[in-house]
Amino acid sequence: MGTHLPTSMNVSQREMDGQSNPAEKLDAGALFVLKSRGSWLHCGYHLTTSIVAPALLSLPYALSLTGWFAGVFCLTVAALVTFYAYNLLSLVLEYHAQLGQRQLRFRDMARDILGPRWGRYFVGPIQFCLCYGAVIACVLLGGQSLKYIYRLSSSKESMQLYQFVIIFGILMLILAQIPSFHSLRHINMISLVLCLLYTACATAGSIYVGNSKNAPAKDYSVKGSGQNRVFGSFTAISIIATTYGNGIVPEIQATIAPPVKGKMFKGLCVCYAVVVTTFFSVAISGYWAFGNQAAGTTVLANFLVDGELLLPTWVLLMTNVFTFLQVAAVAVVYLQPTNEALERKFVDAEVDQFSIRNVVPRLAYRSLSVVIATTLAAMFPFFGDINAVIGAFGCIPLDFVLPMVFYNVTFKPSKQGVLFWVNTLIAIIFSVLGVLGAISSIRQVVLDTSTYSFFANLD
């Protein structure tokens, strides 16, 4: 690399100095929400919860839009590129921390590396929309899980989807008051276990249904005309990008106690061991079992056809309970950037975090953000389409493009070497895919809004 790192002795001292007097240097958002007290294992929990979420249950649908080869190829490439990209982000963050300028937020990275306007007008708004959009999608999925549980437990179907979304929103009102990202470490450890449990149930369920006498006819052809297939493939890319997306790697690394060197890589290894296990098992088994009939919401919807259960009731109940619990943890994780931004605006860093002066506005703005997210989730119940739009506009720029740009600008690898051109090529390819995915995703939303109504009672 063109830039030499400081010596290890100076590195540790500078990094510790960068955190030695946080009260004078950090605003309330960084000081209270992004506390740097965690270990690499805590980091692995946070990363896993932010990536391995119930959105992965829509991967069979993504494969149904592309077919076997293209679908598995896209899954594999996305896994390799995101692991590489997140590691590059970590290296850039470690380098600045070693210089005594630890960056705690994505917009801080953009400001210091590309210039203040990039942080304020590009990265900051995109990250906020991505994270808040993820919260909306999680609230919707939590409501859908509750409705599924209700249908399995009761013969009456008098309640509507928006009512279940509101119930989940009430749970989120409580969880949103958890004070800091670091405070979620135990919840996210449980979340890791839950995601393994519901993906195991979904995978086993798909294999069982695929081998049963009631197995649906397997058709692996891509449906639609030529134009629809092209748009469908870009929608699938957006869904896959969203599923692998994170958008909060700097904020997660900010929770690690200094010195940070090497800790993020260990956390990423923990996370991607779970990612590979869960993503590929659900995607392949779900598409194998249901082919191009894979549901556009999640694969769990395929286990209930015309009121007939394809799996024992207790299996479906258990799977949906696991999903419901984990999606709550995911929603709280993606609330943290919103909490941080609002904390910085309304909370006084010079006063104790739990003083009346800080607790009252915190309770008010966190509750308001959850109420708005719940209302939007109830109004627009198109989870698969929301997933694709989030991926195109948020995940692709933040997770597939900017890490390459940040690394090249920071370390200035030689243009005669492979590294510079690999990073540049990845950034260009995914920029183009992001634009095409955005067009395709918006088109699909427009098509769905002509079919569905606000507060629709979707399955």
**Measured on CA atoms in the order 438, 442, 447, 451, is the torsion positive or negative?**
positive
Task: Please tell me the predicted confidence (pLDDT) of residue 209.
Answer: 92
pLDDT higher than 80, residue 301: yes
The residue-averaged pLDDT of 72-88 equals 96
pTM of the model: 0.90
Task: Please tell me the predicted confidence (pLDDT) of residue 19.
Answer: 45
Q: Which of 140-154, 405-419, 425-439, 445-459 has the highest mean pLDDT?
A: 405-419
- Residues forming beta bridges with residue 309, ordered by sequence position: 304
Task: Please tell me the predicted confidence (pLDDT) of residue 5.
Answer: 44
Task: Please tell me the predicted confidence (pLDDT) of residue 388.
Answer: 67
Cβ contact 321:147 at 8 Å = no
Identify the band that residue 383 occupies on the pLDDT scale cut at 50, 70 and 90: low
Identify the band that residue 455 occupies on the pLDDT scale cut at 50, 70 and 90: low
Cβ contact 261:40 at 8 Å = no
What pLDDT digit, counting tens, does each position of 97-144 carry? 988 888 999 999 999 999 999 989 999 999 998 899 889 989 998 998
What pLDDT digit, counting tens, does each position of 240-290 carry? 988 999 999 999 999 999 888 899 999 999 999 999 999 999 999 999 999
The residue-averaged pLDDT of 32-41 equals 90
Q: Which domains does the chain have, with CATH numbers?
A: 38-451 (1.10.4160.10)
Task: Please tell me the predicted confidence (pLDDT) of residue 109.
Answer: 93
Contacts 24+ apart (CB under 8 A), 160-163: 160/455, 160/457, 161/378, 161/381, 161/455, 161/456, 161/457, 161/458, 162/378, 162/379, 162/381, 162/455, 162/457
Report residue 347: phi and psi, to 5°.
Answer: -105, 145
Contacts (Cβ under 8 Å, ≥6 apart) of 168: 139, 142, 143, 146, 324, 328, 374
What pLDDT digit, counting tens, does each position of 145-194 carry? 899 899 888 777 778 888 999 999 999 999 999 999 999 999 999 999 99
Contacts (Cβ under 8 Å, ≥6 apart) of 234: 433, 436, 437, 439, 440, 441
CB half-sphere exposure, 256, CA atoms < 13 A: 31
Mean pLDDT in the chain? 87
Distance from chain centroid for Cα 33: 19
Task: Please tell me the predicted confidence (pLDDT) of residue 459.
Answer: 61
What pLDDT digit, counting tens, does each position of 40-67 carry? 999 999 999 999 999 899 899 999 999 9
Cβ contact 188:49 at 8 Å = yes
Residue predicted with more confidence, 309 or 381: 309
Can you list the alpha helix ranges (DSSP code H) found in 245-312?
249-253, 263-290
Residue predicted with more confidence, 375 or 437: 375
Query: In Å, how far are 89, 104, 247, 407 from 125, measured between CA atoms?
Result: 19, 16, 12, 21
Cβ contact 297:290 at 8 Å = no
Q: How far apart are CA 459 and CA 161, in angstroms?
A: 8
Cβ contact 34:260 at 8 Å = no
Two tokens, residue 161: 């989807």
Q: How far apart are CA 126 and CA 132, in angstroms?
A: 10
Task: Please tell me the predicted confidence (pLDDT) of residue 100.
Answer: 85
pLDDT higher than 90, residue 304: no
Cβ contact 340:124 at 8 Å = no
Identify the band that residue 457 occupies on the pLDDT scale cut at 50, 70 and 90: low
Two tokens, residue 441: 């995703």
Cβ contact 54:201 at 8 Å = no
Nearest partner of 139 among 330, 342, 416, 318, judged by Cα: 330
What pLDDT digit, counting tens, does each position of 1-34 carry? 444 444 444 444 444 444 433 434 688 888 888 8
In the three-class reduction of DSSP (H, G, I as helix; E, B as strand; rest coil), residue 352 is classed as: coil
Task: Please tell me the predicted confidence (pLDDT) of residue 454.
Answer: 65
Least confident of 71-75, 85-89, 300-304, 397-401: 300-304
